Amino acid sequence: MFFHPSTILFVFFLFFSLIMSICMNSWFLIWFFIEMNLLSFIPLILLKKNKYSVESSLKYFFIQTLSSILILIALILLFTKFDMYNILFISGLSIKLGLAPFHQWMVNIVEGLVWPLMGVLLTIQKVGPFILFCYIYNIKDNLIYLMYLISLLCSFFGCLGGLFTNSLRKILVFSSISHASWMILALMSSISLWSLYFSLYMMILFSVLYILNSFYLTNLNHMFLKLNFFISFSLGISLLSLGGMPPLTGFVPKFIMMKELLMNYNFFILLFLLLGVFISLFFYSRLFMFNFIFLSYKNLFLKYSKSKINYILYINMMGFVMIPLIMYMY
């Protein structure tokens, strides 16, 4: 990837606009810093010099511009006391976050992104819109059923989308959509619960992205041919943790959310989300078993460094300690 000194400036404005959009108490300034965040991210996409990055940057610009227009119209309607503003606001934020059923643009642009930039797209770029989701939900209490609907749609499309693709980038996007269904419900409970879920998700996702970026993996065939036994095991544990397999770290936020939903008697929502998790785990488990049973003998000769991969295993196995603590304290 080509490095230009202006990259530091764009990264600075990316984080600066994110922080300012969260801290502002003016809707117009919030919209302004959302636009600054958009314009800071596009040059980072173009650092990778090929036709896919140009296509991805154009798609990202047009889709984000559409969502920003919807948010701006919603803000105008908010000041005119028109009740339609909440639908436009949530639609604009859903497009910005890539939530179902507005998720297809994110699936299309990820092939033009490098792995670190994709990690930024799936984590840091979602912080601001999620916080705005919390703001608009606190303003209008009657949005609860709309939030439930978006959560169910994210769970449905997120679990099924990963079954029909061979690209690791698209699999992680659909995994992010599936996790967004839980994050929306966590956001409705409290901002601290969402922060815990998002922090653990980000930590697990970057542990997966580290392996994928280190070995230049882009599709499932590369997993089978490029990795030795230990790296395959570490990546498999990370993927299962990302899917929410107990008692790995990825199960910890889901376990807390399960207790919250049970305490609030949301049995249907919980059942639907758990069904989506089971489908996702079926896919990840199939990859895990197929890689070990049938193809591990082909890559035993490859060398690897255990030092950094060990940290990935520690991160994803923290759930063995955290889950008993949560059961004792909660």
Name the range with the highest mean pLDDT among 25-34, 253-262, 291-300: 253-262
AA identity, residue 123: T
Q: For residue 79, is pLDDT > 90?
A: no
Per the structure block, which two tokens stand in for 121?
């797209």
* Lookup result for tokens 């119209």: 73
- pLDDT per position as a tens digit, 106-164: 988 988 888 989 999 999 889 888 988 888 887 776 788 888 999 999 999 988 888 88
Q: For residue 98, is pLDDT > 50?
A: yes
CA 120 to chain centre: 9
Global confidence as pTM: 0.90
More confident residue, 268 or 225: 268
Domain that holds residue 118: 6-329
Read off the pLDDT band of 198 (50, 70, 90): very high
Q: For residue 50, is pLDDT > 80?
A: no
* Lookup result for tokens 């980038």: 169
- pLDDT per position as a tens digit, 133-148: 888 887 776 788 888 9
Read off the pLDDT band of 280 (50, 70, 90): confident
How many other β-carbons are positioned within 10 Å of the β-carbon of residue 221? Answer: 11
Which SS3 state, helix, strand or coil, does residue 174 take? helix
Read off the pLDDT band of 294 (50, 70, 90): low
* pLDDT above 90 coverage of the chain, percent: 17
Count how many domains the chain has.
1
Name the range with the highest mean pLDDT among 5-9, 84-88, 271-275: 271-275
d(CA 225, CA 196) in angstroms, rounded, equals 36
Cis peptide preceding 253, ω within 30 of 0: no
Q: Please list, in sequence order, all residues whose beta carbon lies within 8 angstroms of the beta carbon of residue 17, skipping any fewer than 6 positions away.
A: 33, 34, 36, 37, 40, 128
Q: Is residue 1 part of a domain?
A: no
* Lookup result for tokens 């599936």: 178
Q: What is the DSSP secondary structure assignment for residue 295, as one 8-state letter? A: S
Report angle CA 83, 84, 89 to the nearest 5 degrees: 115
Per the structure block, which two tokens stand in for 165?
């693709």
Q: Is residue 273 part of a domain?
A: yes
pLDDT at residue 300, rounded to an integer: 47
Q: Is residue 34 part of a domain?
A: yes
Query: What would the mean pLDDT of 192-209 be, rounded to a whole number?
Result: 91
Q: For residue 330, is pLDDT > 80?
A: no
- Report the half-sphere exposure of 3 (CA within 13 A, side-chain side): 2
> Are 34 and 66 within 8 A, CB to CB?
no
- Report the half-sphere exposure of 288 (CA within 13 A, side-chain side): 18
* pLDDT above 70 coverage of the chain, percent: 88
Which SS3 state, helix, strand or coil, does residue 219 take? strand
CA 267 to chain centre: 25
d(CA 131, CA 1) in angstroms, rounded, equals 32
Q: For residue 3, is pLDDT > 70?
A: no
